[in-house]
Amino acid sequence: MENDFDRPIEKEQIAIDTKIERVFSEAYYIGRASTAKGTVAAYIPELAKADASAFGLYMMHENGGSLSFGDFETRFSIQSVSKVIILAASLKYRGFRGTFDHVMMEPSGDAFNSILKLDTRSNLPFNPMINAGAIQTISLLADILSFEDLLSFSRELCCDEGITLDEAVYKSEFESGDRNRAIVYLLKSKGVLMSEPQKTLDLYFKMCSLSVSARSLASLGLIISNGGTDPLSGKRLIDSEHVRTIKSLMFTCGMYDFSGEFGVRVGVPAKSGVGGGLVCAAPGMGIGLYGPSLDPFGNSIAAVKAMEHISEKLGLHVFDY
């Protein structure tokens, strides 16, 4: 059988412009130097085991070239970056209306796991990039897709058949996920949850526990940047209209309550996770980063610093066009 994942991502077969190479290499050192300023997530005990000084950076260019630095192959849990995949799946299987009749598209301005506005301001979660919104979105899928279906979709989007469920993270997530349990039951109490709470939550925890690398995220970023088609294989993986929606929500909500500042300073659609991952869909390139030392918002401190440098030096801000 032909291997769908058989793409030329192993080595830099195609030369990358020397300026791009220099800027990425500077960004790597800037990022690595900042890891000591943050802390690894500890509220999910298994995440606390990560090496706080780790930092990996992978850039996949639409021309087929790539750059890699540091811990770019290290496996870590995808956490909230999976919210992008969950949204892509919902748009694919439920459609635009079938998704946004059940979840809003507004930045919340609150922490990723906040319950505040869900209880006081609206019956529907603010957007699919925060916990309440992703849990609600996954409830739209829980009765039509299995975890294996979502795992295959994740592998396809990340061009990485090595993605598996990290059982230890999943167990840890399950044992410490009381706030997410509160969210799912709050959604149920409001009559908006679209599947059974346990089933919904189990799928959400499993999707957060997928083990990826900076390289997997670079591939995801490249496909999103390229309008949903893999520029290397030519294969369409996400409908282009859905990509516009995904990019918009990544831009406005992808960095939690730091999304506005990240939008101004870096200006590319991005999504972070408390495992230290960051996916960026920059013009002409996908960038995947891994640095488990986090800032107070839950974003990788090294990844944000590195992206500020890359965007400024290469003029990647989407509103510079």
The footprint of ligand GLN (CB under 6 A) covers 79-80, 112-113, 131, 173, 180, 208, 273-274, 298
Q: Left (φ > 0), alpha (ψ -120 to 50) or beta: where does 44 sit?
A: beta
Report in angstroms how near the CB of residue 112 gets to ligand GLN at its nearest. Answer: 4
Nearer to ligand GLN, 63 or 176 (CB): 176
Report in angstroms how near the CB of residue 298 gets to ligand GLN at its nearest. Answer: 5
Report in angstroms how near the CB of residue 95 gets to ligand GLN at its nearest. Answer: 26
Residues forming beta bridges with residue 236, ordered by sequence position: 229
The Cβ of residue 300 has, within 10 Å, a number of other Cβ atoms equal to 29
Q: Which of 247, 256, 304, 311 is catalytic?
A: 256
Nearer to ligand GLN, 133 or 298 (CB): 298
Helix, strand, coil shares, percent, the chain, to 5: 50, 10, 40
Nearer to ligand GLN, 112 or 251 (CB): 112
Containing H/E element for 94?
helix 82-100
Return the structure tokens found at 102.
């059940």
Say which residues have a Cβ less than 8 Å from residue 100's Cβ, sequence separation at least 6.
Answer: none
Give the pairing of strands 277-282 and 285-290: antiparallel
Q: Which of 274, 279, 290, 300 is catalytic?
A: 274
- Look up 169 and say whether it is catalytic: no
Q: Which of 28, 58, 170, 204 is catalytic?
A: 204
- Look up 274 and say whether it is catalytic: yes
**What gap in Å lies between CA 255 and CA 259, rounded to an integer?**
4
- Look up 204 and say whether it is catalytic: yes
**What gap in Å lies between CA 153 and CA 167, rounded to an integer?**
19
Nearer to ligand GLN, 68 or 79 (CB): 79
Report in angstroms how near the CB of residue 301 gets to ligand GLN at its nearest. Answer: 14
Catalytic residue positions, numbered: 80, 83, 204, 256, 274
